[in-house]
A and B are shown apart, each in its own frame.
Chain A
Amino acid sequence: MLDISASSLFVILVSAILVNNFVLSRFLGICPFLGVSKQVETAFGMGMAVTFVMSLASIITFIVQKYILDLFGIQYMQTIMFILVIASLVQLVEMIIQKTSPTLYQSLGVFLPLITTNCAVLGLTILNIQERYNIIETIFHAIGAAVGFSLAIVLFAAIRERMEVANVPNAFKGFPLALITAGLMSLAFLGFSGLV
């Protein structure tokens, strides 16, 4: 049986959410982080979509790694196999969102299919393998990463909503200030580094 202690799972979770936050510490998934963070609502929707894709992708890639790649010794096929899994999942999520929430589908726009190429998802799945996590740890790591991503993008969207009405020098309006803000948030998250 797998040897897992509750504390080690908690450490993985907290480390993925705060210490090694995918966006602010590992700098993965910057594209949707900047692209879909104008409104808290859409940012939250994006976060949920990424959460769904990340959780499912980690489980499936774990199985693929263990029962296809490791079994046949073709680990070099990892990247293409994982991308295949992620792309299919994103297609599925896109269909579900289009059916259930057309408004969210419209506001996410092109960034929804772009989760396919979102390096945060691929990065997560590959990290799972590199860290030699077992299936339970993988799931917790995925949830942590997804929550971390959602947390970062929702916080960032909230800040940007305020900045929209703030009196900002013309040269900094829009993306320049967004990038500076992202940098400051990243610095702030650096404060968690001693946590685990």
Chain B
Amino acid sequence: MNISDIIIPVISLGGLGLIFGGGLALASQKFAVEVDPLIEEVENALPGVNCGACGYPGCSSFAKAVVAGEVEVDGCPVGGQSTAEAVASIMGIEAKVGEKQVAKVICNADNKQAKEDFDYQGIKDCKAASAFNGGSKSCNFGCLGLGTCVRVCPVDAIEITENMIAKIKPDICISCEKCVAACPKNVIDMVPESQEVVITCKNEEKGKIVRQKCDFGCIGCQICVKSCPFQAIDFDNNLAVIDYDKCTNCHVCVEKCPTKAIEGDINKRKKAEIVQSKCIQCTICKKACPVDAIEGDVKKEHMIDPEKCIGCSVCAEKCPKDAIDMK
């Protein structure tokens, strides 16, 4: 066998490859497209789900828009605060971000609490069901629990309980608002993630009618409005509405609500505790407390009555020495 049988193909193929490679290297310099390195950095900081919740087709076009200054750094609802901060630091500006908003089903009445008007046997889809006399639930504002939101959720954060009500897990929710748009009953709202007290009723009918239809409905008694120490609850359209900016998650309304239409776990209520070593006994907390749970005078030891404390953390915010812990 002739050695040139191997040498010639190797050299000719290799040589040709070398020539083309060199040519391409030259061309790549000549036709180099300048890509802003910031765009790549911003894109890397984004979640990369390409869900389109920001209004752009994907994460890379959002990154381009951020670098071009068309959109604020906190435009990604999925990444929330941490992503906004990362993007802001890349862009060299301060992030002014709100808290992460998560989707929440504003109805807690499953088929045990809310009366059914008829037995629905149709397609297992809320849109189909609601087209037929508003669904089988006697309450026309409640969750039908047939899972239309479950099917649009890109991260499987929603599940239907056995008693036919949708529950959204806030820790999995990525705030893409797809379920909000898909729900034919408009019963899903965006709520700040740390908000523990939520009014879970959308029924705008009069109290008597609501009472007939559902055990968990807001009957418009306005007890919560009156009992709220921070005037955070308003009343509109026969429904109580919490102003989340004012609400301190003190759970007073949860305790007072006669129909349990306000969701909140009273056991999770925090209690204020004074760290005596830091306290300078200035009585500021005492004056700030809305329920007079703090006792003490100037230059005397301050005490918090845990029985009275509603965990609103107003005192902790007012304390000039950060001497109050919320536990």
Contacts and interface: CB of A to CB of B under 8 A. Distances in A.
A81 B12 CA distance: 9
Given A88-B24, A91-B24, A77 B9 contact: yes
Contacts of B12: 68, 72, 74, 77, 81
B16 A95 contact: no
Contact of B13 (A77, A88, A91, A92): A77
Contacts of B28: 95
Closest 10 CB pairs of A and B: A88-B20, A95-B31, A99-B31, A72-B8, A68-B12, A74-B9, A77-B9, A98-B33, A91-B24, A92-B27
B17 interface: yes
Given A74-B8, A77-B9, A98-B31, A92 B24 contact: yes
Nearest to B12: A68
A84 B17 CA distance: 7
Interface string B288-325: 00000000000000000000000000000000000000
B16 A99 contact: no
Contact of A85 (B20, B32, B33): B20
Interface residues of B, number: 15
Interface of A: 64, 68, 72, 74, 77, 80-81, 84-85, 88, 91-92, 95-96, 98-99, 102
Nearest to B19: A88
Nearest to A95: B31
A96 B9 CA distance: 31
Contacts of A102: 33
Given A74-B9, A77-B9, A84 B24 contact: no
Contacts of A77: 9, 12-13
B16 to A, nearest CB: 6
A99 B32 CA distance: 7
Nearest to A100: B31
A80 B20 CA distance: 14
Nearest to A80: B13
A92 B28 CA distance: 8
Given A72-B8, A80-B13, A88-B20, 10 more contacts: A64-B16, A77-B12, A77-B13, A84-B13, A84-B16, A91-B24, A92-B23, A96-B27, A99-B32, A102-B33
Contacts of A81: 12-13, 16
A68 B31 contact: no
Contacts of B20: 84-85, 88
Nearest to A74: B9
Contacts of B9: 72, 74, 77
B13 A95 contact: no
Interface in B1-47: 8-9, 12-13, 16-17, 20-21, 23-24, 27-28, 31-33
A99 B21 CA distance: 19
Contacts of B24: 88, 91-92, 95
A91 B32 CA distance: 13
Contacts of B17: 84
B42 to A, nearest CB: 19
Which of B17, B21, B31 counts the most chain A CB atoms within 10 A?
A: B31
A72 to B, nearest CB: 5
Contacts of B21: 88
A81 B27 CA distance: 21
Contacts of A64: 16
A91 B17 CA distance: 13
B319 to A, nearest CB: 56
Contacts of A91: 24, 27
A71 B31 CA distance: 35
Nearest to A97: B31
Which of A77, A85, A98 counts the most chain B CB atoms within 10 A?
A: A77
Contacts of B31: 95-96, 98-99
A54 B27 CA distance: 19
A180 B152 CA distance: 33
Which of B12, B21, B32, B33 counts the most chain A CB atoms within 10 A?
A: B12
